[in-house]
Amino acid sequence: MSLDFDMGARAGALRGQLRELIEQELPEHFPGAFTDDPADLAAAQRFCRVLAERDLLCLSWPQRFGGADASVWEQTVVREEMWAHHEPRGAQYMGVNWVGPIIMRHGTPEQQRRHLPPIAAGEVIWCQGFSEPEAGSDLASLRTHARRDGSAGWVINGQKIWTSYATMAQWCFLLARTTRIGEGSVTKKQQGLTVFLVPMDNPAIQVRPIRTMMGPHHLNEVFFDDLRVTDADVLGDVDAGWSIVADVMSYERVGIARYARCERLLAAAPDALGDRWERLPAELTARWMRMLTHCRRARLMAYRVVALQASGRITPGDAAAYRIAVTRLDQESAEVLMEIAAEAPAGPRGQWFRAEVDDHWRYSQAATVSSGSIEMQRILLSRALLAGPR
């Protein structure tokens, strides 16, 4: 018995089209957008506009919002091909995968008109203002506070941390406390939170990069010092932001198709090593085969979450189960690939493979804390399992 992951001729043609565009539009051995060279970010931005011109960037979005009304499975093909090839959309995947869909579900018509077309055109980058120095995995304990200032205004003060792409983003999807615990009907820390859509060019916002081995742009501190916004910048209802956050997590975690990148690097290993492949220890090649199997497991779990998402039945537990699987795959495959890459011969192919594996390993080290720590994912999954069948 075997599992068939073929999505049909249409999906196959789409994969071919995407791979052709990647080959034509990107520099050879494109290293990703997040390097010290501004040209790499510029290449990613150009590529996003190419995808948008061909209605491929937001393929499954409704046409009225700049999409092509395609199926979620065609969008899954785009997601897989992008992640397999070093995510040449750069930071755009955030707007495409979850910021846009969340604004579709919770935004006002004016917010939809303002924000969705630029995302669909590949013209805008978003960052996420969630985690804080003392509110990472326990997000509801955040301290960034928005207080009323007049009948339709707010003043926001606080700090966010680990904010990816804040140095390049034009907009921030910001979560802040609008009612303190004990005030009014707010009795739990998950209550009294509100989402704001704020422009990053406001002088009341200061961004400080955090240097890490992952390279530029990945992590930053963001400070809000008397940032003034209006009710028009509130997404959804005031004090009801936690339900939006739950939606965000479901979209965000399945949107990162790291299994596709793992599988591409694992599949490239025999060719990269050439004659040396046959001389690898049997134990190492056995681990390599196990990782390929785990890639397929993570892919299958992703497809299940995509199907649930499309039917509107996804829960935090569903997304958490996938996130645990792909996080473990990321780190375990990175360790196997590092051992294999050490045996790669000199020459362009071996050099490319070693560089790609090194990048994969560095990214994987943050996998257990990004998009929610793996410990929190296990808690979410445990709660879902204890709650019983839906």
Give which of 233, 229, 167, 176 is closest to 204, Cα–Cα: 229
- In 3D space, the residue among 73, 72, 77 whose CA is nearest the CA of residue 17 turns out to be 77
Cβ burial 155-173 (10 Å sphere, 16+ → b, else e)? bbbbbbbbbbbbbbbebbb
Active-site residue, from 80, 87, 252, 356: 252
d(CA 343, CA 339): 7
DSSP-based three-state secondary structure for 235: strand
Helix (H) or strand (E) holding 283: helix 282-311
Dist CA 87 CA 64 (whole Å): 26
Contact call for residues 92 and 85 (beta carbons, < 8 A): no
Q: Is 252 designated active site? A: yes
CA distances from 226 to 139, 146, 160, 206, 234 (A): 22, 9, 14, 11, 16
- Which residues have CB under 8 Å from 88's CB, separation 6+? 22, 26, 30, 32, 33, 43, 44, 47, 82
Report the catalytic residues: 252
